[in-house]
Amino acid sequence: MVSGMVGTGTALGAVLVSLLAVPAQAAGPAADGVNAISRTATSPTTAQDLAAPDVTGLADVMKTAISQGAPGAMARIDDDGTAYTVARGVADRGSGRAMNASDRFRIGSATKSFSAVVLLQLVDEGKLDLDTSVNTYLPGLLPDDRITVRHVLSHRSGLYDYTNDMFADTVPGFEAVRNKVFSYQDLVNLSLQQPLTNAPGAAYSYSNTNFVVAGMLIEKLTGHPVATEYQNRIINPLELSDTLYVHPDTAIPGTHINGYLPPDGGGALVDSTEQTVSWAQSAGAMISSTHDLNVFFSALMGGKLMSAAQLAQMQQWTTVNSTQGYGLGLRRRDLSCGVSVYGHTGTVQGYYTYAFTSKDGKRTISSLANTSNNADVLNTMARTLESAFCGKSATKAATRSAAPQERHEDIAPAITLN
């Protein structure tokens, strides 16, 4: 065993570097409870011959996120049988319990990829056509018959994002809805108080309303709640033991990470862990872990969740900006080393998530900071992808250069972050 310390033993926790070979799923915190980086040795590369993950650089990203206001940060890389975990800081500010990369957390808009998978499976089953009007399946729901299922899943419907109004004031907006239960129709009605932002199909414009509609489609076409469809189609087949959809319950079952929401303009952090997430539902209410998210996105890009034809449809990209595309409930990000990765970001009050995998699904990272409404932390956590897929030289270059600023989209996309 070779080990060494990275960082110092502060209240935020030390980081232990360990190269001890253990089963991949056992990678996690050291026995004495300190945050750990652990590696298990099998194949050193993916089929894409990516540079080795920069685990030390990943730890530095976590340290930076904490210096910028995140109580804690963590990540797990699964690399074709080899697992690396990094955790720093605290999962619970009250008890001081250290971050643990195996704990559950709210994944926010990464939920959208689960919803899209269910709908694309329904396409495979002949129950749904991507280019048919949503109103064919949900008569009279939307104000324009030209809005198709494809437009909804690619954020090209023009439906206004009601969260812009709901969370214009971050903490007051959150407190007003944290225990509230909405119907899907309630949320669509909030959106329809505003006109369409563009003609159907004309432009990409991210909106949570789209994936509220996706949830309605799932329930109408299957006759089951979305929770049942997630469970039967994805969670059970992939054995995702930490992945849950508990709406409208407010608690995260089991050992979990608390989320902390900073008020606009600064002030005491608000513990935002317990909430219905009814304002998001099929657009952002799922709970998972870094392990389960890695399994899910690896299986998705590995072709295990739908036909090759539907996976190809999922990767019909609409341009977001010079380095990002959006498919059907799936993001593509082009990194500094020329590698493209696939997955989704997630923001829900108190949680920032990045979950992405390589083209073949053989290297995957999920990372989390337990804060939100913090532009600095959002941008810092994006660098976890460079560390995971581009290696040491890219991590150093990304640190030195002025990286493109992250576009805040997953919640209240029109509102400027602190």
What is the residue-wise DSSP string for 43-112? -SS-TT-PPPP-HHHHHHHHHHHHHTT-SEEEEEEEETTEEEEEEEEEEETTTTEEP-TTSBEE-GGGHH
Sign of CA dihedral 392, 22, 41, 24: negative
Report how far residue 91's alpha carbon sits from residue 103's, in angstroms, rounded to the nearest whole number: 9
Report how far residue 409's alpha carbon sits from residue 207's, in angstroms, rounded to the nearest whole number: 8
Query: What is the residue type of 68?
Result: Q
Tokens of 129: 């056509």
Q: Which among 109, 191, 278, 298 is annotated as catalytic?
A: 109
Q: Are strands 15-18 and 35-39 parallel, antiparallel or unpaired?
A: parallel
- Mapped onto helix, strand or coil, the DSSP state of residue 269 is coil
Across the strands, what pairs with 15? 6, 35
Q: Are 290 and 370 in contact (CB under 8 A)?
A: no
Report how far residue 192's alpha carbon sits from residue 209's, in angstroms, rounded to the nearest whole number: 10
**Residue 109 among the catalytic residues:** yes
361: enclosing H helix or E strand: none
Q: How many CB atoms lie within 10 A of CB 69?
A: 17
Pick the closest to residue 154 from 332, 418, 369 (CA basis): 332
Cβ-count burial of 23 within 10 angstroms (0-12 exposed, 13-18 middle, 19+ buried)? Answer: exposed
Q: Cα dist. 177→186, 191, 192 in Å?
A: 13, 16, 19
How distant is the alpha carbon of residue 146 from its chain centre? 30
List, by residue number, the catalytic residues: 109
